[in-house]
Amino acid sequence: MDESQQHQPRRLHFRKHFFQPFQRRTRVGAVPGKIRSSKTATPTHVERIYFDAESLRESESVDVRSLADVSTGTQWINVVGLADHRMIEMIGERFGIHPLLLEDIVHTHQRPKVDTIQDRLVVILRMTDQQIPLHLEQVSLVLCGNTLISFQEHPGDSFEPVRRRIRQSLGRVRHNPADYLLYCLVDALLDAFFPLLEEYGRTLEKLEDDVTDSPGPIEQVQIRDAKRELTYLRKIAYGHRETIQRLIKESDSRFSEDTRLFFRDCSDHAAHILEVTESFREVVTDLRDLYFTSLSQRTNDVMRLLTLISTIFIPMSFVAGVYGMNFDSSRSEWNMPETRWQWGYPMALAMMGSMACGMLWVFYRRGWLRR
């Protein structure tokens, strides 16, 4: 990242998200329980990893018709891109996923949630997108027996660390059933939020400096956009925490004791993310106040300085005006005798000068000349 980029506050991507959550879930009047993939969706592509404590089989591109649950070991099917709704329906049929759940998986504006229909547990979360910051794509994780199926909108995900651990057989993942894999994926997904938040923190620090130095319309827009982004992020973070807590509460019988312990740890992380997001929102509220103060401070400074200048000159002009009067000094000794004195003019100038100095001194003493 070069210097110029660092000094330019991160572009704000929020607007389109904010004003377009109104994408209807389906066409108005569509038959419920019937999925219909969006035209802008990425083409569907299926990956598969099968592993147990000893063996590991990875397939890059799998034919959906060959898929079935496994009796031993753990199978992770990763569906990337949601364009091909027929392929997804076929997966749904093969693994007994209810059409309404499939609908939630494909229509990617769901809030984070956990749902169980006919023994199929679905967890829907939002994943940070590595390319587009703050685009949070929907990830759906379905647990069916020994198989875990994950659906994501675009290629590229936060699951690389888990794949590495599976391949290199690090930690417990190869020795545990599919519910532990579910935990690993959820945990990796949450973990990927931390770099995003760190970057966001730096952006806010930068914005704070900008607002203090030169508050302007650009900063106002950035503050507003940051507020909206954080409102959105907070909603997601809140949803994640709730979802994981419900997952722990409702899945007592499905998860092993050990996996439940790990999910409790996971819940702490989700709470941590939520907490950081909320502290950011407070920072933004403060920034807003700071912006208004800085702005009115600047206007006040300008007005005060200008008024000071006027105030200094007005009495001096008055003196000049007095000696500009046309009283006829030939008629009376008392009419403007100063104008006939030897040192009248220098005296008048000196008087004006000392008035200016006096006022400047008073203003200085009262601290009005300082910015």
Q: Which of residues 305-364 bind its own copies (CB under 8 A)?
A: 306-311, 313-318, 320-329, 331-332, 334-336, 338-346, 348-349, 352
Shortest approach of its own copies to residue 320 CB, angstroms? 3
Is 154 an interacting residue with respect to its own copies (CB under 8 A)? no
Shortest approach of its own copies to residue 34 CB, angstroms? 7
Q: Which C-beta is closer to its own copies: that of 58 or that of 205?
A: 205
Q: Which C-beta is closer to its own copies: that of 71 or that of 342?
A: 342
**Beta-bridge partners for 147:** 75, 144
Q: Which C-beta is closer to its own copies: that of 68 or that of 305?
A: 305
List the one residue out of 134, 131, 126 whose CA is nearest residue 270: 126
Which region, judged by CB under 8 A, interacts with its own copies, from 44-52, 140-148, 244-252, 285-293?
A: 285-293
Q: Which of residues 206-225 bind its own copies (CB under 8 A)?
A: 214, 220, 224
Q: Which of residues 170-199 bind its own copies (CB under 8 A)?
A: 170-172, 183-184, 187-188, 191-192, 194-195, 197-198
Give the pair of three-digit tokens for residue 320. 């000049």
Give the pair of three-digit tokens for residue 42. 């990425």
Shortest approach of its own copies to residue 113 CB, angstroms? 8
Q: Rounded to whole angstroms, how far apart are CA atoms 84 and 279?
A: 41
Cβ–Cβ < 8 Å for 128, 163: no
Cβ–Cβ < 8 Å for 149, 282: no
The residue within the footprint of its own copies, chosen from 93, 119, 275, 350 (CB under 8 A), is: 275
Q: Which of residues 41-100 bind its own copies (CB under 8 A)?
A: 98, 100
DSSP three-state, residue 146: coil
Q: Which of residues 21-40 bind its own copies (CB under 8 A)?
A: 21-22, 24-25, 28-34
Sheet holding 136-144, edge to edge: 56-59, 45-51, 74-80, 147-152, 136-144, 120-128, 113-117
B/e letters for 85-123, b = 16+ CB within 10 Å, e = fewer, are bebbbebbebbebbeebbbbbbbbebebbbbeeeebbbb
Residues near 173 by beta carbon (within 8 Å), at least 6 away in sequence: 162, 165, 166, 180, 181, 184
The residue within the footprint of its own copies, chosen from 302, 353, 354, 357 (CB under 8 A), is: 302
The residue within the footprint of its own copies, chosen from 38, 203, 245, 297 (CB under 8 A), is: 297
The DSSP 8-state label assigned to residue 206 in this structure reads H
Q: Which of residues 223-242 bind its own copies (CB under 8 A)?
A: 224, 227-228, 231, 235
Shortest approach of its own copies to residue 300 CB, angstroms? 5
